[in-house]
Structure 1
């Protein structure tokens, strides 16, 4: 399955401005593209059951063709989400990010040798390796909590075609990926049920478009959960992509998208930064809620 590649993880955000500060100024990532939508996504990209106005911002250290990035989805009018124990953290290597956090007074804690932990707004955890950024992608791995490591590892390897790169019996983790030079997926047995809260995210991968029907058919044959059968998604002025959304044994959402169209859709937009700033300046929802002495909804 070497043709498959890890793309991004989807985070729901309630405060775009604080979130932008974290990714841009603390982590040192770039705004790769920003898109505004007037109604909810057919594949519930902005979460369920939100069917109103929302935005998507892709942030990362480089182009989506060869970097694992974050997709930040913002639902207008929703101020916060309840974080579960499903996403346990992203690990990235950047001494500059560690330095930025200390300089800006962003809370950061040393948890090991050359290893720090910090949180994005909303409580999402990031582990920062205090070493120079590598020439390729600084994002090393995404860690997801699972209730039964053996069952989950079987699903991701046998059905989704990942290869196991490392097992750690003591930490109850399995590290896997499609190729050695991509962002890896780490599964950690949390010894109990996985709670997705309302902040539940989604991990995305691409594959050749011709593999999507077969992937969907395999999941049907194996009686595995399909959240969204093969569907086409439109982005105004950009390529239309096809996706299948799955759920693993613990309900982690997994998006597979046709690679060819996604490469067209995900071309870096030099106006991304400007578009995000413009959208934040034009979003008067905080002022409206304050004026009416009301709080934004908590999902």
Structure 2
């Protein structure tokens, strides 16, 4: 009997791929109602740098990329402004972004001095010693400000709420090769959190998944879009995601392949709660920069 031209990788071998792949968080994408206003707030109040900006008039949108270091080594925020749309619904599922700083009190004073909104004054977390505060940006996105020693990645968290924490942990471990870095249960506040990522949370960006006791569904709104992660092989990575979604839920929303016009290879999918991740070819991404 003739052998198949393209031998298919057995699924147990494929499932090892995300752990061998070199991955990192690239950016979070979300929509804002006034690009200049948000850039001003992030640079003046939060201390970020505007890394690049592009306007695509034929498709009626503009983008700005902001962060604490260059895109080839740091996690950044990709803001999207759609012409004529000045308001979005953040929904109940998106939680916050987080910024690590050596002096939360000073950062809060700076934000207040420039007219920013603080929704939680600085102080230790309930039942712990870490000093935190919360600030709200002009569109209503929350930023947790965390007091920490020097870190290579100040833009340190994306927090999303999920309906079944164990299922989500398993999904991100299997589909994306993340590690469960820490899990904290707070029965007195009726929630559990899991920190997922590719390296220790003090040195890189992590996904903070939050489960609120008894809440299995959240509204997504139309403001927060997705998180992007690099991969050395979008095709292999998409095969893994397909296998995992059959077991745990979620679905591929874009088959792997190049984006017309820029030729960067990507694939995208939804997790069991409907949160979107885009996997981007690592080499193609660096060429884009």
Matches of 1:206 and 1:195 in 2, distance apart?
Answer: 27
- 8 Å CA contact 1:87–1:201 kept in 2: the answer is no
SS of 1:157's partner is: helix
Q: TM-score with structure 1 length normalisation? A: 0.78
Residue 241 of structure 2 is matched in structure 1 by: 219
Matches of 1:98 and 1:160 in 2, distance apart?
Answer: 35
Residue 32 of structure 1 is matched in structure 2 by: 51
Q: CA shift at 1:64, angstroms?
A: 1.2
Match of 1:5 among 8, 14, 24: 24
Q: CA shift at 1:264, angstroms?
A: 2.3
Residue 110 of structure 1 is matched in structure 2 by: 121
Matches of 1:144 and 1:79 in 2, distance apart?
Answer: 23
- 8 Å CA contact 2:100–2:151 kept in 1: the answer is no
Return the structure number with greater relative CO, CA threshold 8 A, min gap 6.
1
SS of 1:260's partner is: helix
| Distance verdict in 2 for CA 1:111–1:249, change over 3 Å | farther
Match of 1:200 among 224, 244, 264: 224
Residue 137 of structure 2 is matched in structure 1 by: 120
* C-alpha RMSD of matched pairs (Å): 1.8
| Distance verdict in 2 for CA 1:100–1:156, change over 3 Å | same
Deviations 1:202-245 (A, max 9, x none): 0110011xx2111222233343401111132256xxx6311101
Residue 36 of structure 2 is matched in structure 1 by: 17
Q: CA shift at 1:111, angstroms?
A: 5.2
Q: Unaligned regions of 5+ residues in structure 2, if any?
A: 1-18, 125-130
Q: TM-score with structure 2 length normalisation? A: 0.80
Which structure has the larger Rg over C-alpha atoms? 2
Residue 96 of structure 2 corresponds to residue 89 of structure 1: yes
Deviations 1:124-160 (A, max 9, x none): 100112456x251112211111011111111101221
Q: CA shift at 1:200, angstroms?
A: 3.1
Q: Unaligned regions of 5+ residues in structure 1, if any?
A: 40-51, 267-299
Residue 275 of structure 2 is matched in structure 1 by: 252
